[in-house]
Structure 1
Amino acid sequence: MSEQRVASRYAKSLLDLAEERGTLEQVKLDMDLFRKALEQNRDLRLLLRNPIVKSDKKLAILRAIFGGKVSEITEKFFSIVTQHKRESALEWVATEFQSQYDALRGMQVAQVTTAAPLAPELREQLNTIVRQQSGLQNVTLQESVDESLIGGFILRVGDRQLDESVRNSLRKLRNSFKENPYQHHIN
């Protein structure tokens, strides 16, 4: 089973349990803290993925870093995940938890990458597209700039991506030239 599917199931279980216990907002803050720690610490990400380091060592490290800083439910969650030797999925659990939390709250977060800062008209068009696709009215665009796109945009909503960048168009064109149907082979 892929790490993404495992992460999705673990995130759903954690979300449901936290909601049932009335601690959803605290667990959300815990997952935000965990996700930020992973983003800022490459060594921690590599440790969690490393199959040579035993699960109990990984749990001890997680407890040393997050003990007393996260809720009891989150600490027990880390323990369960490591007992099942799925700590490599933890990185995606935090991201998946955020997505499921947003969906529960009727929010949709979309990432848009453009070659230059978004013009207000394009921002509104993208908001409309995301609202129509998700069926949710509460949409947040996370904007980033990548000049290597040359022009256009890349829109990511959940696990779907729309790549309308000039860079992507040029790559497709280059690949189509490689597959020249007019080339004759002489034997």
Structure 2
Amino acid sequence: MDIGIISARYARALFAFAKDRGTETRVYNDIKMLATSFEKEAALKEVLDNPVLPETDKKRLIRSAAGIEVCPEFERFIQLVLQYKRESLLQIMCLIYISLYRKEKNINRIYLYTAVPLAKDLKDKLTNDIQQKTGGTIEFSEHINPELIGGLIIRMNNYQMDASVASQLKRVKKQLMEKNRQTEE
């Protein structure tokens, strides 16, 4: 059994179904919430993989992990996943659906790492600049890391811009060590 192929088929089918009904954004929000729950709580996957747990309990657990009120399309999807005993693949299905949705809607995921929280006006300016350059929408994921000392690191797709003070200090240290090594020779 190829879990990637099966998961992709389910995710694509859900995306097509939701798109036909005009609810792909609502399903996206439910799926994102469920994916976040999987990410934050590793035990969720373990519980869903438990063959002893009744289907009704699994359904209730998935529904609560996806948010209080899930849309009917997502509800039907969960019923289908449970009916065919594919709950062990649900996390992968979520990630594939998210990827399909973002590609379709031209949404760029930006990971922003700073030493302190970024001011709202600076974050808005950064968002506008990136949106103009990419022509798409931006979803920010902000992370605070005091070890950066100052500055920021931006990751988008396969691109990373590191303008942190910590990285600059490491580069200066490396250059000084190389010069010191050269003078010793």
Provide the aligned length of Structure 1 versus Structure 2: 173
Taking the TM superposition and a 5 Å limit, the aligned residue runs for 1:121-160 are: 124-125=125-126, 127-129=128-130, 131-132=132-133, 134-136=134-136, 138-157=137-156, 159-160=157-158
Q: Distance in 1 between matches of 2:43 and 2:21?
A: 33
Shift of the 171–73 alpha-carbon distance from structure 1 to 2, 3 Å rule, reads farther
SS in 2 for 1:112: strand
Q: Distance in 1 between matches of 2:54 and 2:158?
A: 32
Q: Is the 8 A contact 1:155 1:163 kept in 2?
A: yes
Give 1:154 shift: 2.8
Normalising by the residue count of structure 2, what TM-score does the alignment of the two structures yield? 0.60
Shift of the 126–102 alpha-carbon distance from structure 1 to 2, 3 Å rule, reads same
Shift of the 124–22 alpha-carbon distance from structure 1 to 2, 3 Å rule, reads closer
Q: Distance in 1 between matches of 2:144 and 2:127?
A: 15
Q: Is the 8 A contact 1:127 1:141 kept in 2?
A: no
Q: Is the 8 A contact 1:47 1:58 kept in 2?
A: no
Provide structure 1 residue ranges, at least 5 long, that are not aligned to the other structure: 177-181, 183-187
Give 1:172 shift: 8.1
Describe the superposition over 1:138-158 as per-residue Cα deviations: whole angstroms up to 9, x where unpaired.
33433332112233433233x
Provide structure 2 residue ranges, at least 5 long, that are not aligned to the other structure: 176-180
SS in 2 for 1:64: helix
Q: Is the 8 A contact 1:155 1:162 kept in 2?
A: yes
Shift of the 121–32 alpha-carbon distance from structure 1 to 2, 3 Å rule, reads closer
Q: Is the 8 A contact 1:81 1:87 kept in 2?
A: no
Describe the superposition over 1:84-124 as per-residue Cα deviations: whole angstroms up to 9, x where unpaired.
64624x22433443443344344434221111233655763
RMSD: 4.5
Question: Which structure 1 residue ranges, 4+ long, deviate > 6 Å from structure 2?
Answer: 1-6, 169-176
- Residue 178 (structure 2) aligns with: none
Instruction: Using the TM superposition, name which of 3-12 and 108-117 deviates more.
Output: 3-12
Shift of the 174–104 alpha-carbon distance from structure 1 to 2, 3 Å rule, reads same
Q: Distance in 2 between matches of 1:59 and 1:126?
A: 43
Q: Distance in 1 between matches of 2:166 and 2:11?
A: 35
The sequence identity of aligned pairs, in percent, is 23
Describe the superposition over 1:47-69 as per-residue Cα deviations: whole angstroms up to 9, x where unpaired.
34x5xx33x84854431322995
- Residue 88 (structure 2) aligns with: 87
